Structure 1
Amino acid sequence: MSKLKLNPEATFKHTVYIPVAGGEPQPVELVYKWRSKKAVDEFVEKHKDGYGVESVMDCVSGWDLEEEFSRGNVEKLLENYLFAALRITTGYIDEIFNARVGN
C-alpha cells in the first residue's frame, strides 16, 4: 500500500480533450507542473485575464504529441484549436484542486 508523501512529485500526468471542428474531441496527455495551493492561487491571479501561450507554458512541461513540446508548437496548437488553452489550463486547475480519489 502506498503512502501519502508530504512532498508531492514535481510533475503529474493528466489527459485533457481538445475540441476538433467536425470531429470528436481528441485526448492529449499532458505533463503538468505541480504547485502548492499558494502557488496555484498565484497562477490563477497571474492569468485571470485569460489563458493563452503564457498560461500553457506556465503549467505544462510536456505532452504526448508527435511534435516536441516547445513554445512554437504550443503557439501552433492554440492557433489551430481555439479552445485548447482553456481546456489545458482549466484541466490543470481542476486536477490540482479536485485530485481524483482512486486506486
Structure 2
Amino acid sequence: MPKIKLGQRPQSFKRVVKFKMLDGAEASIEVSYKYRTRTEFGAFIDEIAAAAKAERPEGDDFSVAAIWEKIGSGNADYIMQAVDGWNLDEEFTRENVQQLADELPAAVIAIIDSYRDAITQGRLGN
C-alpha cells in the first residue's frame, strides 16, 4: 500500500469510464483527467456556470436543435478543460469530443460524472 504524502499532487490520473451504448451494450473509454483539488474543482465549476450563464440566449426563439447543440457544446467545453487525453483511435480534440457528445451522449455524461466523483469523493468506477 503506498504511503500518503501530502503536497505531492499528480498532474493527471486515469480512469476507465463505462457507459451504455445505444443498443444497451456496455462500452468503456480510458480517460486521463487533469488533477484538481476539491477547492480547485469548485472554482472550475464556478467558471463553467458563469460561462453558461453569460451565453444564455435572449429572446423568445425556441429551438430544440439549438438547445441540444448548446448542451453538446457546453459538455465539450467542460471535457476539454477536465481531460487531457483518451484511448480512442480518434485524436483528443474539441471537434471529436463534440462529435462524441452528439453521437454517444451517455459517454459524455459518464466522463463528466466520473471526474466529479473522483475529485469530490475519490471514488473508483462509475
Q: TM-score, normalised by structure 1?
A: 0.84
Q: How many residues align?
A: 101
Gaps of 5+ in 2: 53-70
Q: Displacement, 1:41?
A: 0.5
- List per-residue Cα deviations over 1:53-91 (Å, max 9, x = no partner): 110101000011111111111111111112232211111
1:67 matched to 2:90? The reply is yes
2:109 maps to what in 1?
Answer: 86
Question: 1:1-103 counterparts in 2 under 5 A?
Answer: 1-6=1-6, 7-48=8-49, 52-100=75-123
Q: TM-score, normalised by structure 2?
A: 0.70
Query: CA contact under 8 A between 1:18 and 1:81: conserved in structure 2?
Result: no
Query: CA contact under 8 A between 2:21 and 2:106: conserved in structure 1?
Result: no
- Say which structure is richer in helix: 2
Query: CA contact under 8 A between 1:12 and 1:33: conserved in structure 2?
Result: yes
What is the letter of the counterpart of residue 36 of structure 2?
R
**Tell me, what secondary structure is at the counterpart of 1:45?**
helix
Identity rate, percent: 31
Gaps of 5+ in 1: none
> Structure 2 CA distance, aligned partners of 1:99 and 1:38?
14
